[in-house]
Amino acid sequence: MKSLDVLIPTCERKTALAITLTSLVGQSFQDFNIIISDQTEGESYFNTSEFKTLFRWFQESGKKVQAFTHLPRQGMAEQRHFLLSQAEAPYVLYLDDDLLLGSQVVERMIRTLTKEKCGFVGCAPIGLSHLDDVRPEEQRVEFWKGRVKPETVDPRLGAWQRHKLHNAANLYHLQQNYPYKKVRKYKVAWVGACVMYDRVKLLEVGGFSFWPQLPSNHAGEEVYVQNLLMRRYGGCAIIPSEVYHLELPTKVKDRRANATELL
């Protein structure tokens, strides 16, 4: 069994998904399998030569690739629930399908998670189109001193504002103050797009099994799960991030149904 299952929910993003998968080819940590859940309607692009080549490379390097067409669409929580139901490894990495990862991202994340024994570790994505958009008022950071510990982050209180650090290119600008690539853990309200979980701990809080309670056009399912995990086990994000967002339009355009409010 591999140490890690990489779980990728995707829909109508052939080129972006290929870039994300190619990022995994060059990772310094290679003890993982890949599980993809595609909700693209119509003919699957998994049968194209580009994806066949990628899948063959992973398989020749000892990795199992499972690529599912998973329809009908019932929302992101259901997508994540399906992916988690296919996973077997001790750790799972949920990756959005529109990311470019630096070569040491996965290794830094799994080393941090195994050392801290917390619920999750995230690497928030950076929007490189915002390199000239410097927002010092949003770059406040709270580093963990010592081990990551359980905490409650209430949406009504000040700690919820930690999420602003993940806007635009704030992380990129913050990292310029820490030029050495020493991994630093910091406190979060939540973190999206690239998040590694302890699978057993994730299942202990129910995973994404709550999906039937939400309308299909919901948002915030990972925010809700991470809040539960932080209360019981703690969670964090790390710098340097070296995860870059491809800055495609979101597939979840209607965000009025928020999981943290509904549940």
List, for residues 134-170, the tens digit of each pLDDT value.
Answer: 999 999 999 999 999 999 998 888 899 999 999 999 9
* pLDDT for the residue 93: 99
Handedness of CA 249, 227, 10, 255 (dihedral sign): negative
Averaged over 227-254, what is the pLDDT?
91
Q: pLDDT band at 259, cuts 50/70/90? A: confident
Cα–Cα distance, 184 to 174 (Å, whole number): 12
Is the pTM value of this prediction over 0.85? Answer: yes
Region class of 12: left (phi > 0), else alpha (psi between -120 and 50), else beta: left
Cα–Cα distance, 170 to 130 (Å, whole number): 8
| Whole-number percent of the chain with pLDDT over 90 | 88
Cα–Cα distance, 46 to 68 (Å, whole number): 9
* pLDDT for the residue 171: 97
Domain extents in the chain: 4-248+257-261
* pLDDT for the residue 253: 62
Cα–Cα distance, 193 to 209 (Å, whole number): 19
One-character DSSP codes across the chain: --SEEEEEEESS-HHHHHHHHHHHHT-S---EEEEEEE---SS-GGGSHHHHHHHHHHHHTT--EEEEE--S---HHHHHHHHHHH--SSEEEEE-SSEEE-TTHHHHHHHHHHHH--SEEE---B-GGGTT---GGG----B--SS-------TTSGGGGGGGGGSTTHHHHHHTT--S---EEE--S---SEEEEEHHHHHHTTTTTTGGGS-TTEE-HHHHHHHHHHHHT-EEEEE---EEE--PPPS-----EEHHHH-
Flag whether pLDDT at 59 surpasses 90: yes
Flag whether pLDDT at 130 surpasses 90: yes
Output the CA angle 199-243-134, nearest 5 degrees.
130
Class for the domain spanning 4-248+257-261? alpha beta
Q: Mean pLDDT for the chain? A: 95
* pLDDT for the residue 251: 67
* pLDDT for the residue 250: 77
